[in-house]
Amino acid sequence: MPLPADARDTLDITAAAREFHRLHDVQFGYHTDEMPIEVLNVRLTATGLVAGSSGTPAWDAAGVAQAHRGQRQTWSPGQRRMVAADVYAGQEMLPGDEIQGPAVVELGTTSIVVLDEYDAVVDVTGFFVLYLRERAEEMRARIQTGRTPVTA
């Protein structure tokens, strides 16, 4: 159940409970106003500066060519078939390095699969940020200002 944007300042518990019961009725076909509401899960999205996030990445930096290891076949859920995907050595990629899916980024303890409709960029802190290609400009603006979305 989404809370209003100003909930951090003032939260009307009675109004929130009323909205919960309304949504419960929509979802499950009934509600009981007398039953206590139990919070099972909380999701938070916050935007802010991350330590070490100063500076602006140089998009399409030289690390991409150096990190490229070739291609291999991977499964494309969107196309429902095997497709050729570029393979990169993640430890050699630099802030600002950007790749397009389908791709695989290999790291020492994991591999990151970048699906067909996604792109990935290394931010100024060295994290890999994946985003839908159609949101590229929005993500570039967030990353360049050091305001990378963090979801908990």
Task: Judge contact between 59 and 100, C-beta under 8 A.
Answer: no
Structure tokens at 27: 């979802």
Task: Judge contact between 122 and 96, C-beta under 8 A.
Answer: yes
Per-residue pLDDT of the chain (152 residues; tens, 9 = 90+): 777 777 767 888 888 899 899 988 888 888 898 888 988 888 776 666 655 555 555 555 567 889 999 999 998 988 889 999 999 999 999 888 899 999 999 999 999 999 999 999 888 778 898 999 998 888 777 776 454 444 43
Q: Which contacts of 60-64 are long-range, i.e. CB under 8 A and separated by 24 or more positions?
A: 60/96, 60/97, 60/98, 61/94, 61/95, 61/96, 61/97, 62/94, 63/92, 63/93, 63/94, 63/96, 63/97, 63/122, 64/88, 64/93, 64/97, 64/98, 64/99
Q: Is 68 exposed, middle or buried (0-12, 13-18, 19+ CB in 10 A)?
A: middle
pTM of the model: 0.57
Task: Judge contact between 117 and 95, C-beta under 8 A.
Answer: no
Tell me what pLDDT residue 45 has.
66
Tell me which H or E stretch contains 46. Answer: strand 45-49
Which residue is it, tokens 């050729």? Answer: 84
| Length of the chain (residues) | 152
Can you tell me the distance from the alpha carbon of 65 to that of 142, in angstroms, rounded to the nearest whole number? 24
Can you tell me the distance from the alpha carbon of 73 to that of 19, in angstroms, rounded to the nearest whole number? 48
Can you tell me the distance from the alpha carbon of 29 to that of 139, in angstroms, rounded to the nearest whole number? 39
Tell me what pLDDT residue 152 has.
38
